[in-house]
Amino acid sequence: MIANAYELIVYILNLFRIYEPILNVFQMLGIEYVLQIIIVLVEIAILFVFVLLTVMFLTWMERKVVAMVQSRYGPMVTGPRGLLQPVMDGVKLIGKEDIIPAKADRWIFTLAPFIVFIPALLVFIPLPFGQSLIISDLRVGLLYIIAISAVSPVAILLAGWASNNKYSLMGAMRAVAQDISYTIPLALAAIAIVLFTGSLSTVDIVNAQSGTWFGVIPKWFIFLQPLGFVLFLIASIAEMGRIPFDFQESESELVAGFFTEYSGMKFAMFFLAEYAHLFAVSGIVVTLFLGGWTFPILPFVPAMLVPLVSLGVFLVKTYAVIFFAMWLRDTVPRVRIDQLLNLGWKIMVPLALLNLLLAGFLITAGVFR
């Protein structure tokens, strides 16, 4: 059984019978750890490229979905059906002047986009893309994900503060207030899942969802925890900062919220982070509630192909969640910030606690396992 992507790379190299010779060379030199580092770097490179491509695709998809809802075409000129539009956007953004406002705090202003972007990448580490397609199966995976997600509001606050702009500051304050009030129901809904699995490891959580009840219904947690799923979904849309909860931007009120003063590549970094986050959070929703990469047909797939098929399953599910988020964005208006906080503290936290109680009952009643 291949546990993670590192072992998968070794396995693939072994298939071509080149791992042993390479390892021998490094062993002769007495620097095996260099080979390990190289393989890890390759993993990171693959992840990075994957995230960048995903983000590019997502910006295109977002526009197309919006266009579909609004009976328009969306981008059509650059490339087949506008597929190269993200490339053009990137080129344009690189070519833009990088403006730092005169009264901004230069260091923090420059640092903030990176502090936003790096957590958005780090979240991917314990995310199981498919069987054995995981960078590292952390034993505290879920805790790690929630902890890392909590870094981005700090960076948003930094960006808003450093811009020295009233709109930015208000956007940043809103973002922080929102994040604090939504991380709690998010974590509570996730804890209910941990009660079932008894493990924080994302791989364990996915494995617990393989198999079916009565041979028909897949053992996904959405069926055991419908309330938890709804809460988690709402909280994660708030986490992603998308309409109806996009207070950090709320462009009709605060111009562009915390990135009002940003331009060029720094702006692009926020954009990248936003879409990377969208994918990551959707991936987490899939992992926790929609069975991750498992699917009832998977046991009948030849073992060689399982990583590939499971990756496909994971992507389809994730994109379904992403599509839902985009669809939601085109349908509903934005709620007001105090209404959002009311919803978070007065409705979602109590409901999440209730959900936790229900999960406890279900476990005592022995419904699961």
286 or 325: whose CB is closer to another protein? Answer: 325
Q: Is 334 in the site for another protein (CB under 8 A)?
A: yes
Q: Which among 218, 349, 189, 366 is positioned nearest to 292, based on CA atoms?
A: 218
Q: Which among 44, 53, 65 is positioned nearest to 90, based on CA atoms?
A: 53
Measured CA to CA, the distance from residue 350 to residue 148 in angstroms comes to: 24
Write phi, then psi, for 314 (nearest 5 degrees): -60, -45
Q: Is 331 in the site for another protein (CB under 8 A)?
A: yes
100 or 337: whose CB is closer to another protein? Answer: 337
Q: Which stretch binds another protein (CB under 8 A): 45-53, 67-75, 88-96, 271-279?
A: 67-75
CB of 166 to another protein, least distance (A): 6
Q: Which among 183, 44, 53, 182 is positioned nearest to 121, based on CA atoms?
A: 44
Q: Is 346 in the site for another protein (CB under 8 A)?
A: no
Q: Which stretch binds another protein (CB under 8 A): 40-48, 205-213, 250-258, 299-307?
A: 250-258
Which of 238, 254, 272, 352 touches another protein by CB under 8 A? 254
Token pair of 309 as six digits = 């098929």
Write phi, then psi, for 298 (nearest 5 degrees): -60, -40
Token pair of 276 as six digits = 């990377």
Measured CA to CA, the distance from residue 49 to residue 46 in angstroms comes to: 5
> What are the start-end ranges of the H helices in the chain?
5-15, 19-29, 32-69, 85-95, 106-122, 141-149, 151-163, 166-197, 202-208, 221-224, 226-240, 251-254, 264-289, 306-331, 337-342, 349-364
71 or 364: whose CB is closer to another protein? Answer: 71
Cα separations (Å) of 226 from 75, 325, 355, 366, 369?
A: 37, 18, 9, 18, 18
Measured CA to CA, the distance from residue 91 to residue 172 in angstroms comes to: 28
Q: Is 170 in the site for another protein (CB under 8 A)?
A: yes
- Quick check: 4 and 135 in contact, CB under 8 A? yes
Q: Which stretch binds another protein (CB under 8 A): 155-163, 164-172, 212-220, 276-284?
A: 164-172
Which of 102, 333, 361, 366 touches another protein by CB under 8 A? 333
128 or 160: whose CB is closer to another protein? Answer: 160
Which of 115, 240, 243, 325 touches another protein by CB under 8 A? 243
Which of 36, 336, 357, 367 touches another protein by CB under 8 A? 336
Q: Is 335 in the site for another protein (CB under 8 A)?
A: yes
Q: What x/- string results for residues 122 through 161 when contact with another protein is judged by CB under 8 A?
A: ----------------------------------------
CA 345 to mean position of chain CA atoms? 24
Q: Is 180 in the site for another protein (CB under 8 A)?
A: no
**Local structure of 347: helix, strand or coil:** helix
Which of 16, 304, 338, 361 touches another protein by CB under 8 A? 338
CB atoms within 10 A of CB 292: 31
24 or 331: whose CB is closer to another protein? Answer: 331
How many residues touch another protein (CB under 8 A)?
27
Q: What x/- string results for residues 19 through 58 when contact with another protein is judged by CB under 8 A?
A: ----------------------------------------
Measured CA to CA, the distance from residue 127 to residue 124 in angstroms comes to: 5
CB of 58 to another protein, least distance (A): 18
Write phi, then psi, for 199 (nearest 5 degrees): -150, 145
84 or 255: whose CB is closer to another protein? Answer: 255
CB of 251 to another protein, least distance (A): 6
Which of 140, 253, 356, 368 touches another protein by CB under 8 A? 253
Q: Which residues bind another protein (CB under 8 A)?
A: 66, 69-72, 166-167, 170, 243-244, 246, 250-255, 330-339
